[in-house]
Structure 1
Amino acid sequence: MKKVDWQAGIWSNEPHSVADQNGKLIVQAVEGSDYWQKTMYGFQHNNGHALLSAWEEGTAVEVSFAAGSLTELYDQAGIMLWHSPLQWIKAGIEINDGVPHAGAVVTDQYSDWSLSPVPEWAGRTITIRASRLKDAVIIRARTDGHPWRTLRVARFPYTSQVQAGPMLCAPTRPGLRVEFTGWVITEPDTDVHDEPPGE
């Protein structure tokens, strides 16, 4: 397991503010920030905040954050997997109808959205994990008190120009501040049915 320094990443779009406090990254999102491509709503949003660095094949990336500040509609935090403005995946926790949901948006020209309510995860420290396996990624999530849950297996076949890192967006309000507690590169999953290595 290799810890990624916050300074190793480059923001896709600058947040309202960023502060490194005792090794934790405190990030405030810009009001109206989001990532979405066309599907159902028709709009295209490319102004969310993702702190990205190179993500090599044959590895997994994990991002951890405190979810207590996610309280308003569409508040979201988690991980971004990036190939281009039209090919990316974001996964994490998002507030929908007042309830935290674990989910993912998979985008290839158009976005789709899958989500599952996790009210028992409210206020916990969340870890989102993405592991590259062949032409896909396995996306999992857990809290400091709950085991890994598989969220998605999605096609992600890119072999070059791939980046990953922490992500947050505040589509509907100002003042969303998220505390990121960890960012690591680690051993990849070997199969969707097996626990991640080292667990």
Structure 2
Amino acid sequence: MADASTRRAWADGTWTHPPVSAREDGDDLVVAAAASSDAWRHTAYGFVHDSEHALVAPLAAGTAAEVEFTADFSAQFDQAGVFVRVDAQRWVKAGLEYADGVLGAGAVVTDGFSDWSVGAVPEWLGERVRVRVSRTGDALIVRAAVVGEPLRLLRVAPFPASLTAAAGPFVAAPTRGGLTVRFHAWRTGAADASIH
């Protein structure tokens, strides 16, 4: 599997929705989420939320984007990771989400309606985490791990090579104000050569 190795400048991205604050601290970007920020469409909950804070730049077919971050997740649905956006109805968010008192790693894949896949990773709470999305053929491959450990496969989702997409770090805080996420790196490069 290839590593995304070119560091992208924070200034390269454009916010889907501006956060409460975003400030550079050395090489890091520290982002404070607005209360009630989220991304979701319809499924199970019956609402559409389109207020996540995602700093995105073009993600061409055959390329990958990844972020490293730390966060103090403590409230229901606190979340951060990588956001991949085609338009308001087609997007993917991948990373960590705190739900029902447990930290999970997974992805929400949305094409008109959202679906959510998640697995518990309570041992990642408070750790520096790496999340990677890779556009390979007709798929988006999502991987994540604590920095220094091998990446784990979280999701293989349909994502046609013909789509024009943008991706980058994101944060959302559906149930509270005050969530702050420290992004340590945003990198781009070649897509992973294979799924496994």
| TM-score clears 0.5 | yes
Matches within 5 A, 1:104-119: 104-119=107-122
Q: Secondary structure at the match of 2:150?
A: strand
Identical positions, percent: 44
Query: 1:62: how far off?
Result: 0.7
* Residue 176 (structure 1) aligned with residue 182 (structure 2): no
Match of 1:28 among 26, 29, 32: 32
Q: SS in structure 2 opposite 1:33?
A: coil
Q: Write the distance in 2 (CA, Å) between the matches of 1:6 and 1:42.
A: 34
Retained in 1: the 8 A contact 2:55–2:168? yes
* Cα deviation 1:33-66 (Å, max 9, x = unaligned): 0000000110000011100111122111111101
Cα distance in 2 between the residues matched to 1:93 and 1:178 = 11
Asked if structure 1 preserves the Cα contact closer than 8 Å seen for 2:70 and 2:183, the reply is yes
In the alignment, residue 22 of structure 2 is paired with which amino acid?
A: V
Q: Distance in 2 between matches of 1:83 and 1:46?
A: 13
Structure 1 match to 2:23? 19
Asked if the contact 1:83/1:158 (under 8 Å) is kept, the reply is no
2:192 counterpart of 1:189: yes
Hey, what does 1:140 align to over in structure 2? 143
Q: Please give the residue correspondences for 1:44-123 in structure 2 after superposition, counting only pairs within 5 Å.
A: 44-67=48-71, 69-123=72-126
In the superposition, the TM-score normalised over structure 1's length comes to 0.94
Matches of 1:171 and 1:14, distance apart in 2: 15
Q: Check conservation: 2:22, 2:31, Cα contact below 8 A.
A: yes
- In the TM superposition, structure 1's runs of 4+ consecutive aligned residues that sit over 4 Å from their partners are none
| 1:146 partner SS | coil
Unmatched 5+ residue regions in structure 1?
194-199
Q: State the distance in 2 between where 1:164 and 1:91 align.
A: 11
Matches within 5 A, 1:130-169: 130-169=133-172
Deviation (angstroms), 1:191:
1.2
Equivalent in the alignment of 1:196: none
Q: 2:123 & 2:100 partners in 1: Cα distance?
A: 15
How many correspondences in the alignment? 192
Secondary structure in 1 matching 2:75: coil
**TM-aligned CA deviation for residue 147 of structure 1:** 1.8
For the 8 Å contact 2:135–2:161, the answer to whether it is kept is no
Q: CA deviation at 1:145?
A: 4.3
Deviates further, 153-162 or 2-11: 153-162
1:42 aligns with 2:46: yes
- How large is the RMSD of aligned CA atoms in angstroms? 1.0
Aligned-partner Cα distance in 2 for 1:150–1:36: 22
TM-score by length of 2: 0.95
